[in-house]
Amino acid sequence: MDKEIRCFNQLWSDIILKDVTARKANAYVRKTCSEYYMVPPGFEFRGVAIQLKSPMLAGIVAGEQKILMPFKKPCYGTMLYEINAEEGDFTYIRSALGGKHAKGKRTGIPERKKVT
């Protein structure tokens, strides 16, 4: 049986953008990801309700097996996280959010910097 995850910190993620506006995070996802999907506030990913003030983009970087996911922490603001994809994650996102997606092409993508 899989261990139930309830806290975003347990998703083993890196912060890509910290205390960012929705507009900047969405622009980054569009520029960086091969696919992106509109995530409504409260969308559940791996047992964690994604906390957002308004819908934002989450992205798939299939070649690197990564997911970029926004999340708002009350004391820290909105952040964009890079999560290592597990088996079934891409399929879940595509099926759960598939009606709300737009596909983009990745060319000349700058290297993502992790915030420390």
Residue 37, C-beta contacts closer than 8 angstroms, at least 6 positions apart: 57, 58, 59, 60, 93, 94, 97, 98, 100, 101
List pLDDT tens digits, range 54-91.
Answer: 999 999 998 999 999 999 988 889 999 999 999 999 99
How much is the pLDDT for 106?
Answer: 41
